[in-house]
Amino acid sequence: MTGFDTRAIHAGQDPDPATGDVVVPLHLATTFKQDGVGGLRDGYEYARSGNPTRTALQELLASLEEGVAGLAFASGLAAEDTLLRTVCEPGSHVVLGGDAYGGTFRLISRVLSRWGVEHTPVDLTDPDALRAAIRPGSTRVVWCETPTNPLLTVVDIALTAEVAHETGALLAVDNTFASPYLQRPLTLGADVVVHSTTKYLGGHSDVVGGALVVRDAGLAEQLAYHQNAMGAVSGPLSDWLVVRGIKTLGVRMDRHGANAARIAEYLAAHPAVSRVLYPGLPDHPGHDVAAEQMSGFGGMLSFRLAAGEEAALRVCERARLFTLAESLGGVESLIEHPHRMTHASAAGSPLEVPADLVRLSVGIEDADDLLADLEQALA
């Protein structure tokens, strides 16, 4: 197998046989001419069922995550919904990490619950708690993020997969924060990898998309059927933008991680900050696991303000280079208040996040400029 950066630039992206294009063409057609009834060219008939630009992205994703197949969707939540409705049915049960993305919690607790799917939040760093939460025969999925959003909890993927598989449950890992450059869950025992391609894979805050990558051909076939039947597929322009973004994923992640490490060290020594949540810090509870299963610690970090929620809000409002906005993973640095923004839907639930928490998506700007911005915001 070739190296990661080589695959990021070449996998699924052979030069176009007709023109020699070295960039994947943007195929906007919604339908494709058939050579006689049922005589499809390369399997394409209708763009919901398949599109050559989407095929390129899906092959690229499968290569990067070292899976047998990748599938691209209109958003990360569309990918999650398709996965859950493929493997669950009324009466099924999902174990959800106790520190999960608010949109995932909303989908499972408020949408799928009306369809008869139950869920149990649990601390996935505790394998005994996970075993206790699993309901043999009805738990279909253990849903894991690592590192988590927004508390940066690190979960041991190999151990979690072992526990899930004891009773036949699938392990799905949301790999959005790490990206396949830093972590490949399928190689550690996970069954499905989930991505919001909006984030690091796209990398430029100009596309919304999602993806699933699997290691079992049978599950891939089921998911592909539901991808077509349910229809929440990605569009060709989105596919093209994600392919373009992935070409520079490796070099971007190196800069994201280097900048985040400097900022984490700065915040850890700041008197206004009570705690920094970043797996790269030696005192982080998941540091050793992260060092074992990741090749770097990423560009996401959160911190808590000693003076409480109002101080956290002031930092968000005073930042200038760190743009106050939701989402993450773009080249520009972002700051947000999870309790009132991305995780507001988890308020009052076991997944509620602290009100004094600030989350940073550290971009690729000059680190000295980012540190100066935080210094004036914290003053």
**Which residues are designated catalytic?**
48, 101, 174, 199
DSSP string, 213-281: EES-HHHHHHHHHHHHHH--BPPHHHHHHHHHHHTTHHHHHHHHHHHHHHHHHHHHT-TTEEEEE-TTS
**Rounded Cα–Cα distance for residues 275 and 294 (Å):** 23
Torsion of CA 301, 305, 311, 313, to 10 degrees: 30
* Assigned token pair, 149: 């959003």
Of the candidates 57, 86, 54, which has an alpha carbon nearest to the alpha carbon of residue 191? 86
> Could you give the C-alpha distances from 262 to 31, 240, 267, in angstroms and in order?
50, 33, 9
> Could you give the C-alpha distances from 61 to 180, 196, 246, 291, 329, in angstroms and in order?
9, 12, 9, 24, 17
* Assigned token pair, 241: 């933008």
Helices (H), 75-192: 76-87, 102-106, 127-133, 157-166, 179-182
Could you tell me if 307 and 272 are in contact, meaning their C-beta atoms sit under 8 angstroms apart?
A: yes
Could you tell me if 339 and 302 are in contact, meaning their C-beta atoms sit under 8 angstroms apart?
A: no
Phi, psi of 355 (to 5 degrees): -75, -15
Of the candidates 61, 20, 17, which has an alpha carbon nearest to the alpha carbon of residue 41? 17
211 forms bridges with which residues in the sheet?
Answer: 72, 195
Q: What is the DSSP letter of 202?
A: T
Most distant CA pair in the chain, distance: 73
CA dihedral over 102, 103, 106, 109, signed as positive or negative: negative
* Assigned token pair, 251: 């070099």
